[in-house]
């Protein structure tokens, strides 16, 4: 025990004579309602083998929590390895209609599918037969356009194919971590499932 004490003595709460101090939880969390998740998976499944895309509605609860309560699909052009929204007019009209119905939610981010090839954000050329170099960076560019509207916008990637064979849906949420250099960003995985 003495060896353990010496090894971890400088860590709060583990050393001799140190007092336990409360540690502030600053972990960011993306909460996705069952309804929103089911809609994302249904939309993604309907689009297989093409990628699909939609907007996430909810609220920024506090500095660390984003709550997504609903989603809606968007018209887009997609291939088996990329998707891009092509109708900003549709997005604007949809949000206006939501306001008319009295829904208080705002756009907290976007989702898209990677049917059969996992949850990740394309931002550089990846090796392998599935990843098409001509499409590298589409996800990062899309996320950066959402961040221009709201710094805390979240990107969620779903895999509707692998979700069918797993005990829980395969999803991942990404938020901007830091700027590496001018014009470059790093995205960290928040909630892999």
Give the residue, 193 or 165, on which the prediction is more confident: 165
Q: Is the pLDDT of residue 183 over 50?
A: no
Per-residue model confidence (pLDDT) at position 88: 76
Per-residue model confidence (pLDDT) at position 120: 81
Per-residue model confidence (pLDDT) at position 34: 92
Per-residue model confidence (pLDDT) at position 42: 94
Per-residue model confidence (pLDDT) at position 150: 86
pTM to 2 decimals?
0.71
Q: What is the pLDDT of residues 118-138, one digit of tens each?
A: 888 876 534 444 444 333 477
Per-residue model confidence (pLDDT) at position 175: 72
**Would you place residue 117 in the very low, low, confident or very high pLDDT band (cuts 50, 70, 90)?**
confident
Q: What is the pLDDT of residues 72-95, one digit of tens each?
A: 998 877 766 677 765 778 878 888
Q: Which of 112-116, 121-125, 146-150, 161-165 has the highest mean pLDDT?
A: 112-116
DSSP 6-74: HHHTTSTTTSTTPPP--------EEEE-HHHHHHHHHHHHHHTTS--EEEEEEEE-SSSEEEEEEEEE-
Q: Which residue from 125, 156, 130, 131 is spatially nearest to 142, judged by alpha carbons?
A: 156
Q: Is the pLDDT of residue 9 over 80?
A: no
User: 43, 54 in Cβ contact below 8 A?
Assistant: yes
Least confident of 104-118, 129-143, 179-193: 179-193
**Would you place residue 185 in the very low, low, confident or very high pLDDT band (cuts 50, 70, 90)?**
very low
Provide the percentage of residues in the chain whose pLDDT is more than 90: 23
């Amino acid at each position: 025990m003495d060896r353990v004490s010496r090894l971890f003595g400088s860590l709060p709460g583990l050393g001799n004579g140190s007092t336990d101090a409360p540690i502030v939880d600053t972990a960011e969390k993306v909460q996705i309602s069952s309804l929103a998740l089911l809609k994302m998976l249904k939309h993604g499944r309907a689009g297989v083998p093409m990628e699909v895309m939609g907007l996430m509605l909810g609220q920024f609860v506090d500095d660390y929590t984003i709550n997504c309560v609903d989603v809606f699909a968007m018209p887009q052009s997609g291939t088996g390895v990329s998707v891009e929204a092509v109708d900003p007019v549709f997005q604007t009209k949809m949000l206006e209609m939501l306001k008319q119905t009295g829904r208080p939610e705002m756009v907290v981010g976007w989702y898209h599918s990677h049917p059969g090839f996992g949850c990740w954000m394309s931002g550089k050329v990846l090796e392998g037969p599935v990843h098409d170099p001509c499409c590298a960076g589409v996800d990062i560019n899309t996320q950066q356009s959402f961040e221009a509207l709201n710094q805390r916008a979240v990107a969620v990637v779903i895999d509707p194919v692998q979700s069918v064979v797993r005990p829980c849906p395969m999803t991942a949420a990404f938020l901007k971590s830091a700027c590496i250099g001018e014009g470059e960003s790093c995205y960290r995985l928040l909630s892999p499932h």
